[in-house]
Amino acid sequence: MSGFNDYGDFDGLGLANLVRSRQVSADDLLDEAIARTERVNPEINAVVAEMYDHARAAIAAGLTDGPFTGVPFLLKDIHAHCTGFASTSGSRFLIDNIPDHETEMVRRYRQGGLVIFG
């Protein structure tokens, strides 16, 4: 059960403002994003790599104070490498491709405060 049911009423900047003003926690946003993902993903199969524990650890370690601080985010698996997670660019040929580095784009997402959860 999520702690923040008004998630869909806000854009990313609005969600980040709620986190900054302590009206909601980044954990609550993540819980709601995961719940929403799990409701629709069985039908659309869009999230192929669940990084929920990774996201929780990122929040626990402390978030960067950027424009999107605490906002849950899904990566598109095309040229977006996240250390230790498969990066296939949608190809079965690359199923075992586990990068040992992050791409600049992923690094900037994190600097902006986004919480990557899949």
Amino acid present at 32: E
Q: What is the mean pLDDT of the chain?
A: 91
73 has which bridge partners?
A: 116
Give residue-wise pLDDT tens across range 46-83.
898 899 999 999 999 999 999 999 999 999 877 788 88
Query: What was the pLDDT predicted at 3?
Result: 58
Q: Measure the CA–CA gap between 56 and 54, rounded to whole angstroms.
A: 6
| Angle (CA) 6 38 92, round 5° | 135
What pTM, to 2 d.p., does this model score? 0.88
